[in-house]
Structure formats: structure tokens, C-alpha cells
Amino acid sequence: MYFPYLRGKQFELIALRELSGILNPDKVIPIIEPLKRNTKGVETAISALAKKGIRVQLIVNPQYGDLVARSNEVISLIEHLTAAGATNVIPTFLVNTNKDQLLVANTISEQGYDQTGYSLIHLNQIGATDELSVLAKTTNCLYNMIQINQLFALQRKYRPLPLAFLNDPFTKRQKNADYLDPDDEIFSSDYLYYREEGYVAFGDYLTIGEDFVDGGMLPRAVAIHLTYKDEGGDDIRIHHFVSDTNDDYNDPAGKFYEALTKLIVFVDAAHIDSVAVRQFQDYYDRQAFPGLGVIKKLSIMHHIELVQSLI
């Protein structure tokens, strides 16, 4: 099982909506961390996934955005979605401090999640780990995911519960032009080994990375990040397609076409196909620039489809 971790930004939510028709509910359960108090985009994405039977792990206590310390609003959103017929939401709690343990204990009891089911994502080893471990083992904790840096310490506390882990294989660089060298590197082999290592699922932060950036500046270089299966081995690799004329901020459309041309040559030679690759091909054929948000959306879509095809 694969748990892609997405934050509730516009194009990340659109990526899920556009993938809803091809996602396999037995293989993929997205995680959404909502960011905005206006949750229309989250509602639309979850409703689209519900129609296809795709469950969603919705973060009750986001660590970024407008909903920090407003878990009551996310709980109300879950109630609203459930009343509207979207019964695919799994309330999911980030565990980073002792306050989070108290929130989990109180909320699952008050809302009945201890019976209907919930998930935990452990970002840190907290002082109240023992108390939370007992709670998880005696209630209906559906998925228990541990951030990779805490994996070896915390898995001892939560066995024999079924466990998952959350990894961040994306190498974040200071600026887009830095992806020119190296432009190809190993991304992950988690899909291949997670079961034999005793986990029921794994997750990642896709081709974005764990670091949260609210907004962004117009870049000097345009970079497209595309994961692919290494034909000579078992690894998922990532290739970075970067524009060449990167001395100023002018002509982002031209920079996109430079990067896109490299991508099209690469996927043609490697016979790589996906919904996103076909959209990239369409932009190439029309010499159209869809905007930087769409580039990120297509990169996300391609990665989720790739991982689904491998598990």
C-alpha cells in the first residue's frame, strides 16, 4: 500500500482529482494535510475520490497553514463530508508533541474514531509515547505510520501493530538551476522492500519534498522532476529536466519549453507513458505554457501512477 503525502495546495488537490479515475483503492490511500480555512478544494478532491472508492487520510491537526490549532474546523469538515455521503475519510493525527497525544486521546473518544477508525503519523518520539502506544493498541488505529528518522526507535513501541513508514527521498536543492548536475539520481526502492521488511505500507512526499514553502518567487530556471523505473535495476530514479537560459527571470514559457524538450526526448527513448506524460506531450506539441503550478501537478500525478504500477 502506498500513502502519498500531499499538502492542500491547489494543484496538489487537482492532481488527486485528475487521478481519481485510475487510482486503485487497494494500492493507494492519499494523505492530505489541509492548509486553508476555505476547504472547498479539499472537499472537491475528497468527493471525487469518494466516487471511485478511494479512501483519504485527512490530517486533523495540520502543522502548516491557516488550520494550525484549529482541529475543530477539520473535525467539522469530516462531519460535513460524511453527512454528504463521502464516507472515505480516515481522520489522521500528526504526532509531534505531548499535546498531540492528548488531542488524539480526547478526539477519538469524543468523535467515536476509537471505534470507526483513525490513523497516526509519528513525526517525533514524544514523552507520552508509551501512553499513545497503549491507546493505539486498544482502539481502532487503522494505519500507524512513522517518519523515517524515528522509525527504529518507535517501531519497537508500536509492534505488533501493523506499521507503515514515511520517507522523503527527494533531494532538495537551493535553486532550480542546481538540478542540472546531477540531473539524474536514485530516488527510492521502498516499493520493493517494504513488505519483506515487515510494513503494510510506505509513503513519501512525492517529487516535492517534506519542506513546506508557502507561495514562491518566479524562478530563473524551470525544472521538471520525473520519476521512472530503472531498467537496469529495481530502483525508482528521478530525472531533472532543467532549462538552459537561466541568467534572468524573463520568458518562463521559453524556459519551460527548453526543459520540456529534454523531457520529451527522454520519455520517448525510454518508452515512458502515463497520464501526465501524455499531457506533457500535448503541451510540447502545441508549444503551450500551462504555468508552473501545472508542471508540479503533472510531476505529482506521474509519480503516484508510477508507484501504483510497481506495487
**pLDDT of 101 over the 90 cut:** yes
C-alpha 165/C-alpha 160 separation (Å) is 15
Query: pLDDT confidence of 232, banded at 50, 70, 90?
Result: confident
State how far the Cα of 257 lies from the Cα of 244, in Å rounded to an integer.
10
Find how far residue 144's CA is from the centre of its chain: 16
Which amino acid would we find at residue 168? D
pLDDT band at 213 (very low <50, low <70, confident <90, very high): confident
- Given a cut of 80, whether residue 224 has pLDDT beyond it is yes
Mean pLDDT of the chain, nearest integer: 96
Give the C-alpha separation, 91 to 55, whole Å.
11
pLDDT for res 17: 97
Model pTM score: 0.96
Cell of 68: 494550525
Give buried/exposed letters for 262-281 (b at 16+ CB in 10 A, else e): bbbebbeeeebebebbebbb
Domains and CATH numbers, the chain: 1-167 (3.20.20), 171-187+213-311 (no CATH)
C-alpha cell at 246: 537561466
Predicted local distance difference test score (pLDDT) of residue 257: 98
Task: Decide if pLDDT at 216 tops 70.
Answer: no
Are 222 and 194 contacting, i.e. CB atoms less than 8 angstroms apart? no
Residue position matching grid coordinates 490513523: 119
How far CA 175 is from CA of 40, 171, 172, 187, 220, in Å, comes to 32, 12, 9, 19, 9
* pLDDT for the residue numbered 148: 95
- Going through the chain in order, the beta strands assigned E by DSSP cover 2-7, 31-33, 56-59, 89-95, 118-122, 141-147, 163-167, 184-188, 201-204, 223-229, 236-242
> Quick check: 261 pLDDT over 70?
yes
Question: What's the pLDDT tens digit per position in 51-97?
Answer: 999 999 999 999 999 999 999 999 999 999 999 999 999 999 999 99
Question: Is the Cβ–Cβ distance between 76 and 39 less than 8 Å?
Answer: no
- Give the mean pLDDT of 92-112: 97
pLDDT at 218: 85
SS3 content of the chain, % helix, strand, coil (to 5): 45, 20, 40
What is the pLDDT, as a whole number, of residue 270? 96
For the beta sheet containing 236-242, the strands, ordered from the edge strand earlier in sequence to the opposite edge, are 184-188, 236-242, 223-229
Residue 192's CB is within 10 A of a number of other CB atoms, namely 15
When pLDDT is cut at 50, 70 and 90, the band that residue 217 belongs to is confident
What gap in Å lies between CA 24 and CA 6, rounded to an integer?
17
Give the whole-angstrom CA distance, residue 43 versus residue 45: 6
pLDDT at 280 over 80: yes
Give the residue-averaged pLDDT of 288-308.
Answer: 97
What are the tens digits of pLDDT across the range 147-199?
A: 999 999 999 999 999 999 999 999 999 999 999 999 999 999 999 999 999 99
42: confidence class by pLDDT, cuts 50, 70, 90: very high
Rounded to whole angstroms, the Cα distance separating 77 from 42 reads 9
